Amino acid sequence: MSADTQAPRPLRADAQRNRDKIIEAGRTLIREKGIDATSMDEIAKAAGVGAGTLYRHFKTKDELYEAATARWAETVNGAADAALAIEGTDRDRLIAWLRSYVDFLTAHKGAAWRITAAMGDEESPYAMKCRTYLHANERVIEGLGSLRSDVDAMELVRLVGGIAAVVDNSELSEDAVRPLIAVLADGLLK
C-alpha cells in the first residue's frame, strides 16, 4: 500500500481529547452565535487549546462544522438504533424513537419549527440536519413491521416536528408531551 492510500494513524489520547474539546466548543459556539459570527480564536479559547492545536485538527471553520455535525448525526442514528433494539412491541419502539426525536428537535429553543419547515428544502441551512432526521425516520419505518403502509418518512418528520414545535413554544412538561406522542404512535400503527 502506498503512503497516499494508507489509513490515517489513530490520534494519541491527548490529541483525541483536544480534538473532542474543539468539536464540542465549536458545536456550542456555532449553535449559540451562528457559524459566521463565531471565530476560530473563540473556539480555541472555549476549548482551552492554542490556535496552533485547533488548526492542526481543522484548517477551516467549515471542516470543524462538518466534524461537529457528523458526530451529531451519529447521535441521531444511534438513538434510532437504540429505539429499534428495545425489547417490546413495535409501539414501544416507535414511542421511544418519537420521544428521542422530540428531544432532539427541542434541544435548542426555536429549532423545532425551523428544521421542520425546512424539510425537503435542499437550499436551507438546515438541509443536512433535515436529511439526517429524514433518513433516521426511514430506518425506523423500515424497522417496524406494524406501521400503516401509507406512512412515509416525510409525513412522520412533519408530524413529530409539529409536536416538537408546540413543546418548544409552550414549554409543556414531559408528562404533558407523553400523551401527544402516544396518540401519534397509535395513529401510525396498523
- The CATH architecture to which 66-188 belongs is Orthogonal Bundle (1.10)
Is the pLDDT at 1 greater than 50? The verdict is no
Residue 30's pLDDT band, with cuts at 50, 70 and 90, is confident
From residue 82, alpha-carbon distances to 33, 67, 76 in Å are 31, 23, 10
Reference 14, options 44, 49, 43, 61; nearest CA is 49
Distances (CA, A) of 169 to 70, 105, 164, 166, 184: 28, 12, 9, 5, 19
| Nearest CA-CA partner of 186 in 136, 138, 151 | 151
| Domain ranges in the chain with CATH number 1.10.357 | 66-188
Going by pLDDT thresholds of 50, 70 and 90, the confidence category of residue 7 is low
pLDDT digits (tens, 9 = 90+) for 109-142: 778 888 899 999 988 878 888 999 999 999 999 9
Residue 2 pLDDT > 50: no
- 60-119 pLDDT, tens digit per residue, is 888 888 788 787 899 999 999 999 999 999 999 999 999 999 999 888 777 888 889 999
Which pLDDT score, from 0 to 100, does residue 5 have? Answer: 55
- Give the per-residue pLDDT at 8: 67
CA 122, 126, 128, 129 dihedral sign is: negative
**CATH 2.40.440.10 matches 13-59:** no
Q: What's the rounded mean pLDDT across residues 50-65?
A: 90
User: Which has more confidence, 61 or 52?
Assistant: 52
Radius of gyration (Cα) for the chain, nearest Å?
19
Whole-angstrom Cα distance, residue 79 to residue 114?
21
Spell out the residues 6+ positions from residue 138 whose beta carbon is closer than 8 angstroms to its own.
Answer: 153
Domain with CATH 1.10.10.60 in the chain: 13-59
Half-sphere exposure of 84 (CA within 13 A, CB side): 17
Mean pLDDT over each residue of the chain, to the nearest integer: 89
Element (H, E) at 145: none
CA 75 to CA 92: how far, in whole Å? 20
d(CA 55, CA 63): 10
